[in-house]
């Protein structure tokens, strides 16, 4: 099986021109099949506020009313995605920017209303891995933003981490697929006060131990549960660290396997 790398970057990289340019160079130099997934975060909040639209967050998730969905479509699908594509083209990477509506690549269900109405938020239902593979086979590099669709003409705001993981699961039918989650830290920390205390390897066995001992807690638990879900669904490896894990020089990051 050929290899495929899915790289996810968050708002902290997107919002800082220098970090973004540095990252895109690393991404461009990465050999082999690759897919980029990006969030957009604060940029959308900023433009929404300029347009007089208040951003409502519940449990760290954006409540997406129709006006907010418009802003997200503009910022994630337009401003951020197309500038990333133009920058990648300048670096010689033949990028193509996508939402989940493009080539029907990611279909979602609008999240059902229970305690909270999240509005136009999508829970991923289906990834069109064969269609995405047509782009890879044509030597294009897909760049996904955090938008999906319901197949009935409705765009839906969708968490970028989830998009990366669902695409990886879908593509693992065809490729030996790894995910790289790029964030501020160098990896999962053993001691939150010591940024150098990277846990280099996590597997299902020592994960239970790390949980029991309280070393992994709070916000990291859903993130890691999400990683194990992906691994249990066919993804080969998940890496968590800062963007320099894409280089061969840096081997200090966290690798998660079953």
Contact residues for a copy of itself, defined by CB under 8 A:
47, 50-52, 70, 73-79, 81-83, 85-87, 89-90, 94-99, 101-104, 131, 134-135, 138, 140, 147, 149, 151-155
Residue with tokens 């939150």: 192
- Cβ closer to a copy of itself: 79 or 215? 79
Min. distance of Cβ 99 from a copy of itself in angstroms? 5
- Cβ closer to a copy of itself: 106 or 245? 106
> H-helix or E-strand containing 229?
helix 220-232
Dmax (CA) of the chain = 50
- Cβ closer to a copy of itself: 96 or 174? 96
**Alpha-carbon span 193 to 124, nearest angstrom:** 35
In our burial notation (b when 16+ CB lie closer than 10 A, e otherwise), range 54-74 reads eeeeeeeebbbbeebbbbbbb
Min. distance of Cβ 204 from a copy of itself in angstroms? 38
DSSP state of 120: S
Min. distance of Cβ 75 from a copy of itself in angstroms? 6
Min. distance of Cβ 105 from a copy of itself in angstroms? 9
Residue 130, classed as helix, strand or coil, is helix
Residue with tokens 């909270």: 116
- Cβ closer to a copy of itself: 76 or 228? 76
């Amino acid at each position: 099986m050929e290899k495929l790398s899915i790289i996810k970057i968050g708002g902290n990289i997107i919002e800082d021109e220098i970090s973004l340019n540095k990252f895109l160079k690393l991404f461009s130099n990465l050999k082999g099949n690759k897919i980029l997934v990006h969030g957009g975060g604060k940029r959308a909040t900023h433009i929404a506020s300029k347009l007089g639209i208040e951003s409502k967050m519940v449990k760290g998730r954006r409540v997406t009313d129709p006006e907010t969905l418009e802003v997200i479509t503009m910022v994630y699908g337009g401003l951020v995605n197309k500038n990333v594509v133009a920058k990648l083209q300048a670096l010689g990477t033949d990028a193509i920017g996508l939402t989940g509506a493009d080539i029907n690549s990611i279909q979602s269900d609008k999240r059902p209303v229970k305690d909270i109405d999240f509005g136009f938020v999508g829970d991923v239902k289906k990834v069109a891995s064969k269609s995405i593979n047509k782009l890879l086979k044509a030597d294009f590099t897909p760049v996904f933003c955090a938008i999906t669709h319901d197949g009935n003409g409705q765009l839906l705001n969708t968490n970028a981490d989830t998009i990366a993981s669902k695409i990886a699961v879908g593509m693992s039918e065809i490729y030996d697929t790894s995910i790289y989650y790029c964030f501020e830290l160098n990896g999962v920390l053993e001691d939150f006060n010591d940024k150098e205390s990277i846990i280099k390897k996590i597997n299902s066995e020592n994960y239970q131990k790390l949980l029991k001992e309280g070393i992994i807690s709070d916000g990291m638990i859903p993130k890691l549960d999400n990683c194990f879900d992906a691994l249990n669904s066919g993804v080969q490896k998940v890496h968590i660290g800062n963007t320099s894990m894409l280089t061969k020089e840096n081997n200090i990051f966290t690798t998660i396997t079953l």
